[in-house]
Each structure stands twice: as C-alpha cells, then as structure tokens.
Amino acid sequence: MELRVTVAAVPTILVLAAALTAAVFDVRTRRIPNALVAALLLAGIAANALGGWRPAVADLLIALAVLLAGTFAFSFKLIGGGDVKLLAAAAGTLGYPACVFFVLCTLLCGGFIALAYAACRGRLRATFANVQAMAIPVMAGVKPARPDGTPMPYALAIFAGALCTALVPAFAPHLRFLP
C-alpha cells in the first residue's frame, strides 16, 4: 500500500503534528512553546502560499480573527494564552472553510474533555457550579470572578479538534460541510 500526501493535506498534517506536540508539552509542563506556535503559523502560511498570495493573506486574517476572539476568552480566564496562540495558528494554517469546522470541533471536544477531566478528579459537581457561576454574569455582560477550578491542558482539545477535522471527511463524509 502506497501512502500519497497531496498538497492540500499538508496544512492538516502540520496542524496535527504541532497540536500533538503542544498537547504533550501542555500535559507535562502546562505550557505551550511559542517557538512551536510560530513555526506552525509560518509553515502553514508557506504551505498555503503555494496556492498564491491570497490564501496566505487569508490565513493571516483568520489567525488574527481567532487570536482576537481568543483574547476575549483569555480575559475571562476561560482559556490560557498559549492555547489561544496555538488555536489561532492552527486555524490560520488550515484556512477557510476548514478552520470553522476545526474551531467548532475543538470547542466540542474541549467540553467533553473538561467533563472527563473533572470527573476523573472528583470535581464534576464543583465544575458545574463553577460554570453556572461564570455563565450567568457573562451573559449579563459582567466580568465574573473566577471560581476555583481545576484547569485542564486545553491543547488536548485542540489536538482532538484537529484529529476530527482530519478524520471526519474520510470516515463520515455526510458530516462534511467543507468543499
């Protein structure tokens, strides 16, 4: 069996490799190296620039948009700074429309992983109370006080989102909304 990698698959492979590496670092040290994030963004832009300057500029704009949205979540202490940078670099590398599916998958996987993480630590009830204590003020437009909680290594969710983005088109094409 011969393995062929198309040019279109390169951004996905880059994101999978970087997200897996970041997840290992995040679990072990609770940090994501900036050099890894920068390398992912630069390699992604270079790979997408093979299609012309427009995809490269679009990738930068996507990364900037995700970075701005992530900064908002970071200001509420919902996600770490390294996670925001990794998510932005990965979304920029994947480009549009794959980045939309990737971010949605990452958010869903993040929720499931957070529940499993809290359950394994015996903090499921406290986690639900914390979510309620934070969600109500946020919906009212007020910055909540961050309740004590168990932060999880969110790079795991980013890797899971990347994995879903890579595998869903192959194994569940009816769920695919990407061209």
- The model's pTM is 0.83
For residue 45, is pLDDT > 80?
A: yes
Any domain includes 15? yes
**Other C-beta atoms lying within 10 Å of the C-beta of residue 53:** 9
The pLDDT tens digits for 2-20 are 555 566 788 999 999 999 9
Domain tally, the chain: 1
Any domain includes 178? no
Any domain includes 179? no
- Single out the residue of 159, 25, 109 nearest to residue 34, CA to CA: 25
Range of the domain at 141: 7-173
The pLDDT tens digits for 121-177 are 777 677 666 666 666 665 555 555 555 556 788 999 999 999 999 988 777 666 655
Q: Please give the residue that has the higher pLDDT: either 77 or 127.
A: 77
| Encoded tokens for 145 | 């006080």
Any domain includes 128? yes
Any domain includes 1? no
Any domain includes 2? no
Say how far apart CA 47 and CA 110 lie, in whole Å. Answer: 28
Any domain includes 154? yes
Any domain includes 43? yes
Q: Find the angle CA(18)-CA(20)-CA(25) to the nearest 5 degrees.
A: 95
